[in-house]
Structure 1
Amino acid sequence: MARPREFDRDAALQKALRLFWAKGFAATSTDDLREAMGIGRQSLYGAFGDKRKLYLEALNTYQRRTTSGHLRRLSEGDPIEGIESLLAGVVAEDDEERALGCMGVGSVGEFGVTDAELNERRKVFGELLSRGITARIREGQQQGSIAQTLDPGEAAAFVLMMMSGLQVAARGGASSAHLKAMARFATERLKN
């Protein structure tokens, strides 16, 4: 009979997520994971499979959580307020968390387009967010608050690029105040 699991799988996953977020996939060893998660090698493999499967689960958990938050902020207020809230919301107030940047952007930096499975996951979350931003831009154009001359798809791509840029700048040490000012500046570019 198999021994019952002696640890909280969800708590262990969150610890692995935080470690991968901080260090990336390649720089995180199995021993680093075991130590951070407080579990043995057999428990790690039994509960999560190998390091790659654990990384994919952690990244998927991170992307589901952050995308949900992005969409919630995007839906706040009128379209301009929602877009500014979306951009400002990627800026963590906590200095340590802000310095981590974005785990999703970090995976792009680490893997580029070399990993088909990561590319597919990135596409799913990216398209979901892109559709939401495009819809808010169209709504703002109908209401007259967003410039009619903007192509909604291109404007949404600009907002997504700003989100990535803000996260890279955060990882590079930019302050919360500076990043939020850039979020406001970018949002102003959409106005009529």
Structure 2
Amino acid sequence: MARPRTFDEDRALEGAMRAFWESGYEATSTRDLCEATGLGRSSVYNAFDGKRELFVRALGHYMEQKDAKLFELLERDLPIREKVRVLLQSVAEGDPGEPPGCLVVNSMVELAPRDPEIAEILRRDQERRFEALRAAIGLARARGELGPGKDPAALARFVAAVVSGMRVAARAGGDRAALEAIAATALDAF
């Protein structure tokens, strides 16, 4: 009979997510994960089948959190320009309690080129976010908020690229003023 778990799995995933976000997959050691999750080495391997599976779970945890915020914003009763402004401003401001950058973007660069399973997870997440943005922009165009020459798919890809670029700039040490300038320039597309 298996022994019941005596730890909070969500808390462990949150700790692992932050460790991977801060240092990347390769640079995060098992020791780092033990410290971040509060679990012993054997517990990490027993509960999550090792570092890679823990990473996949932590990445999913991250995507759920970030996607929920994006989808909630896109469903608000606001003009599309305001939705995009709020999104870009939130990226420029960052969250002082979080590591800079983005675990998804970091993983696209670090892991996707050589790990087909991770690449597929990231592609599916990217597609969900793209479709949500495209739908919101398409609805705004149908309501007359954007001119008929504005392509919702192209604008959605543009916003996604700007957000990713801003997150890379933040990770590289870009200051808030620089990120706000990028956001203001991007907002001109709307």
TM over 0.5: yes
Aligned amino acid, residue 168 of structure 1: V
1:36 aligns with 2:30: no
Tell me, in whole angstroms, the C-alpha distance in 1 between the residues paired with 2:41 and 2:176.
39
- The percentage of aligned residue pairs carrying the same residue is 38
Tell me, in whole angstroms, the C-alpha distance in 1 between the residues paired with 2:2 and 2:128.
41
Aligned amino acid, residue 181 of structure 1: A
Tell me, in whole angstroms, the C-alpha distance in 2 between the residues paired with 1:188 and 1:74.
19
The Cα shift of 1:107 comes to 0.1
Tell me, in whole angstroms, the C-alpha distance in 1 between the residues paired with 2:24 and 2:163.
19
Match for residue 115 of structure 2? 115
Match for residue 17 of structure 2? 17
Secondary structure class of the residue paired with 1:100: coil
The Cα shift of 1:96 comes to 5.9
The Cα shift of 1:133 comes to 1.2
Tell me, in whole angstroms, the C-alpha distance in 1 between the residues paired with 2:110 and 2:94.
25
Please give the per-residue CA displacement for 1:122-158, whole angstroms capped at 9, x wherever unaligned: 1221111111111222222223332322222111111
Please give the per-residue CA displacement for 1:53-101, whole angstroms capped at 9, x wherever unaligned: 000000011011101111112233111111222222233444463x520
Aligned amino acid, residue 90 of structure 1: V
Structure 2 unaligned residues grouped into runs of 5+: none
The Cα shift of 1:161 comes to 0.3
Tell me, in whole angstroms, the C-alpha distance in 2 between the residues paired with 1:187 and 1:74.
16
The TM-score with structure 2 as length reference comes to 0.90
Match for residue 100 of structure 1? 100
Checking the alignment, whether the CA contact within 8 Å between 1:74 and 1:86 is kept in structure 2 is no
Aligned 1:14-163 pairs, distance under 5 A: 14-76=14-76, 77-95=78-96, 97=98, 99-163=99-163
Structure 1 unaligned residues grouped into runs of 5+: none
Checking the alignment, whether the CA contact within 8 Å between 1:74 and 1:85 is kept in structure 2 is no
Checking the alignment, whether the CA contact within 8 Å between 1:21 and 1:102 is kept in structure 2 is yes
Superposed CA RMSD: 1.9
Tell me, in whole angstroms, the C-alpha distance in 2 between the residues paired with 1:96 and 1:68.
18
Cα distance, 1:63–1:92 mapped onto 2, change above 3 Å = farther
Tell me, in whole angstroms, the C-alpha distance in 2 between the residues paired with 1:160 and 1:32.
31
